[in-house]
Structure 1
Amino acid sequence: MLLALAVVPAVVQEAVLVGIGFHGARGLAPQVTAVWPYDSYHDLRWLLIYHNSWWHFLFGLVALAVFRGLLSAGLTALAWPGQVPRPSFAWLLRRNLEVAALALVVISPWAALSVAFSAVALSLYLFASLIPMLVLAPFLQRAGVARTWWRGLPTIELLGWSVLNFAVLTIAGAVISSTSGWWGVLVAALAGVANGLLWRQTVTAAVLPARIRLARVPVAPVAIILTMAAAVAAQPILNLVTGPPQEWMPLVVTERLPDRVPHAVIVIAGHDSHWSGRQPADPRVERFSYQGLDRQGRPLPYRHTATHRSLDSSSVLLRAQVEALHRRTGRPVALIGSSEGAMVARTYLEKGPKPSPVEAVLLFSPLIQPGRAYYPPPGYSGWGVATGWELRGLFWLVGLGRADRSRPDEPFVRSVLVNAPFYRNRTLCPVAGVRMIAFLPTVSAAEAPPGEYSRIPVFQLPAFHGGLIGRRAAEERVVDFLAGGHVDQPRREYALLQRLGAAWQAPPLALVLNPVWAAEREADPAFTGRICEPR
């Protein structure tokens, strides 16, 4: 009975997703019967993406709390060890309803960060949202079975079983995303069996602990408060560790280009970058300015807040700078963009003049299929309305006292959300008459949803987002590519890492549902598993 209850919900969800062809969300199905808190994390990501009014959100929140309380009470009752008298089912139901409500509150900020990852495809948000799940798991597993669960440290056995469940869910999601058709249902069933066995082990470890350390100390409330506070403190802590942002200094800026490079080059830095006005070593190279050009057609220095403008407006500035550089040098132009800069270059290729002076584009750490989530601007209703306000609250707390902080509604982010069909489908698609390559750090594999992600050559190296600049191997390939050489170096582990991340991404919002996206006739990679499909 325990295994049946753990298997059926996972199989039903996977069967529905396979039946409707929802390729991008299939890896989530095994989590529906996972141990706390992975089950609630699963529920919240679906709810935060798939609600289109406050009433739908509140109704969904109550429905999920009731469903999760009932299901976990049943799993707990069936997993109860025989050598210990089991509390009444009414007590278990009441306790698990309370834990379900608590989990929804505690995990909600982190699930919202997972949605933020889906909006802008930055692995920082994805990884940040997972760490608290591992921290909270042993505490919440005790909460469903122990009367004084909030006192004392969980045992090492509880921690071990919860980490094992995380590994099982990760592997199951990877295998499901690697299969086609109804094979995923079989994998979901096997994952459900593993979940049931892990429920047995975690309940036994919680009911029969070997030894409770700090038995009189209210450890759980402290852990929960610190975890929720970490949702606000994560970004400032990261900034403290990494230090203030520096000017982007690739070798094409600090050194002269070889004579074999025929192009004039514009280097486009990423989000929150700044430029003091210091000129590159080679007169054929220019910095792109998010502030525009002066009267002589030269790029202006800019502060980091200038990068918060929309991608469309940045591409207009880039168009003017491309034309000015082309007139001044008489050379074809190459664009080298990093992160947001890569997206500016790609937007220019889509909306700029045709034919264009640009003959080569190098995209460093481009956002891979961003816009998989949506939330409306303040004052409007629509898909993800509650999520938008939760993100605004989190970012307001993060930037408290800073007038120039990043915001979830800044023009750059909104331009990605509004034009999601294009960026989901065509960021890494070839453009006629332009040589293109994407330089991808391996961490971007976790950002890439299951399925195809690029149809242009790629160069991949182990690195974090934006970390390839400054790597000698990558810089040498830049010069080779600019000189006309063929560069294409994918890594075997990239596809594996892409699949391992599938279980922990939020389900993408179907393009057909959002009226904001109705005007753009694009296929949906979340259902086709392919990009660059004909319009």
Structure 2
Amino acid sequence: MERRRLTWLLVLATVPAVVEAAILLGVGFQAARPLSPQVTAVWPYDSYHDLRWLLVYHDSWWTFLLGLLAVLGFRGLVTTGLTMLAWPADLPRPGWRWLLRRNLAVAALIAVVVSPWAALAVAFSVVALSWYLLAALLPMLLLAPFLQRAGVVAGWWRGLPSPALVGWPALNFVVLTLAGALIAGTPPWAEVPLAGLAGVANGLLWRQTIHAAVRPARIVWARVPVAPVMIVLVVFAAVAAQGVIGLAVGGDQQWRPPVLTQPLSDRVRHAVIVLAGHDSSWDGTPPVDPRVSRFSYLGLDEQGQPRPYGPHATHRTLGSSAALLAAQVDVVHRRTGRPVALVGQSEGAMVIRTYLEQRPQASPVDTALLFSPLIRPARAYYPLPGHSGWGVATGWELRLLFGASNLFREVDSNPDEPFVRSVMDNAPFYRNRTLCPVPGVRMIAFLPTVSAIETPPGQQARIPVYEQPAFHGGLLGRQTVQDRLVDFIAGDPVNEPQREYDLLQRVGAAWQAPPLLLSLNPVWAAEGEGDPARTGRICEDG
């Protein structure tokens, strides 16, 4: 009898993962392949899986509400079945009706708690910043030990979880990460068998967590409502995290890397324009080398000099920033008579790429260095307020989160600011061609290795790259990188990829939100671009 129950437990844990993997394989949805093992994971990874799919793939309030009811019902039924089959044979088990009611309630509770973090994962897929991805995973790890008893024990919310309830969910996280990495790095024919093996592992881990949850054990702080406190902290952290992420990404607003504070080598024959990133500011202090000038997000003054600017100026659209850059390029070239090299970080790199796409044939720019560019951004969508479309509920959840988080930020931000909208509205180009060659321009991308975590598996660049361990925006301030910058502008070949970059891409693959296919969104469908979400390749026509 026990062996038969274990067999059915493994079957129930395996079939949904295999079905999802087979569907993704059948429709050619390569970027979402690593998500399939999570469909039968332990709490809360299973709900995190469901909500990321739902928040990306709904196109109206009705489809969101119906989808939410469907995923809650599915989750309640599946976890009830897994719980019944995993229950220890030597202990009395509650009736199936009680377990079903309890698991439906837990599914609803976890959806409320996890939903803000799933929304942040969608926001991450829009701006392609690993800070959001990493910030969304930590709460899953913290919540997991407190939720394993919720579906099986009446007083689950009191007391600290046992070591076993900490260890088994943590092991499930490792299994899901490894399974996603293997699926991302193997041929498509191996996807379904690997998802099946991950489902088997999920079933065994359900068995262990249920045993640990229901067997009598000494509970530390047995009368303290620890779980509600943790849940409140996690929900509050979803708001506060926006402020922390903003500080981490923005860094020192008075941005002064070596290219601005040191003289350039005599080998450099270019005039250099340097573009800072999002939420940066500039007080007008000129660079040390007269061949270098700062780009201003407020444009030029009457004398043709870049204006000092504050953080809000960086929130403008990429197209308008590119127009300002074009005007500054012309002024610098006329004044110096030199060819122009562009150096941009983060948003600045995206402004450069937008300018290169729109530049006139007679442009004096022949060199571009992109530091921490957004790699395959705009993988999700949400419409403006008052409009319907893909991700409509997600947009409002993000507006609530960002609105509350502005209490913790020095500079207000919102998910509809012009910069973000310009990335989303032009998703086919930025998702497919950011790191593609431009005729007549020498280009290189300086990529911190953490950006690999934010990039779906597959091709990320078809230009030379310089990859080094660093966080987003952390390369340009290093002296060794300054040396490579000078070498490249002076005409030397620079191309230093790191082997671990591809590995890190696969490691992060399981925890990204599924991309919205370009062909589904009417805002994007007419652009004629290839979709890396299907092919894993960039720089292709549709």
- 2:340–2:364 Cα contact (<8 Å) kept: yes
Aligned to 2:526: 519
CA distance in 1, matches of 2:126, 2:243: 21
CA distance in 2, matches of 1:524, 1:340: 22
Matches within 5 A, 1:149-188: 149-188=156-195
Match of 1:408 among 415, 426, 429: 415
- Specify the code of the residue in structure 1 equivalent to 2:473: G
Aligned to 2:346: 339
Aligned to 2:18: 11
- 2:279–2:411 Cα contact (<8 Å) kept: no
- 1:266–1:335 Cα contact (<8 Å) kept: yes
**Change in CA separation of 1:420 and 1:225 when aligned onto 2, cut-off 3 Å:** same
Matches within 5 A, 1:194-213: 194-213=201-220
CA distance in 2, matches of 1:444, 1:530: 17
- 2:250–2:277 Cα contact (<8 Å) kept: no
Match of 2:477 among 470, 484, 488: 470
CA distance in 2, matches of 1:226, 1:532: 43
- Specify the code of the residue in structure 1 equivalent to 2:178: I
Aligned to 1:268: 275
CA distance in 2, matches of 1:293, 1:530: 39
- 2:242–2:402 Cα contact (<8 Å) kept: no
Match of 1:278 among 259, 280, 285: 285
Measured against aligned partners, the alpha-carbon deviations of 1:324-380 in whole angstroms (never above 9, x if no partner) come to: 000000000000000000000000000121231101000000000000000000110
Please, which runs of 5 or more residues in structure 2 have no aligned partner?
A: 1-7
TM-fit CA distance, 1:33: 0.3
- 1:15–1:182 Cα contact (<8 Å) kept: no
Matches within 5 A, 1:356-395: 356-395=363-402
Give RMSD over aligned pairs: 1.3
Give the TM-score, by structure 2 length: 0.97
SS of residue paired to 1:443: helix
TM-fit CA distance, 1:398: 0.5
SS of residue paired to 1:509: coil
CA distance in 2, matches of 1:315, 1:462: 30
Instruction: State the 4+ residue runs in structure 1 displaced beyond 4 angstroms.
Output: 237-244, 401-404
Please, which runs of 5 or more residues in structure 1 have no aligned partner?
A: none
SS of residue paired to 1:406: coil
Match of 1:457 among 464, 477, 486: 464
Measured against aligned partners, the alpha-carbon deviations of 1:462-508 in whole angstroms (never above 9, x if no partner) come to: 11000012212211100110110010001111110000000000000
1:131 aligns with 2:138: yes
Instruction: Calculate percent identity across the aligned residue pairs.
Output: 69
SS of residue paired to 2:435: coil
TM-fit CA distance, 1:283: 1.0
Measured against aligned partners, the alpha-carbon deviations of 1:285-314 in whole angstroms (never above 9, x if no partner) come to: 100000000111110000010000000000
Give the TM-score, by structure 1 length: 0.98
**Change in CA separation of 1:239 and 1:367 when aligned onto 2, cut-off 3 Å:** closer
- 1:155–1:209 Cα contact (<8 Å) kept: no
SS of residue paired to 2:491: coil
**Change in CA separation of 1:209 and 1:495 when aligned onto 2, cut-off 3 Å:** farther
CA distance in 2, matches of 1:298, 1:524: 41
Aligned to 2:121: 114
Aligned to 1:532: 539
Match of 2:222 among 215, 221, 225: 215
- Specify the code of the residue in structure 1 equivalent to 2:356: L
SS of residue paired to 1:515: coil
1:291 aligns with 2:298: yes
TM-fit CA distance, 1:519: 2.7
CA distance in 1, matches of 2:411, 2:200: 50
- 2:249–2:473 Cα contact (<8 Å) kept: no
CA distance in 2, matches of 1:386, 1:444: 28
SS of residue paired to 2:473: coil
User: Which range moved further: 512-521 or 60-69?
Assistant: 512-521
- Specify the code of the residue in structure 1 equivalent to 2:461: S
Matches within 5 A, 1:479-498: 479-498=486-505
TM-fit CA distance, 1:245: 2.8
Measured against aligned partners, the alpha-carbon deviations of 1:37-60 in whole angstroms (never above 9, x if no partner) come to: 000000000000000000000111
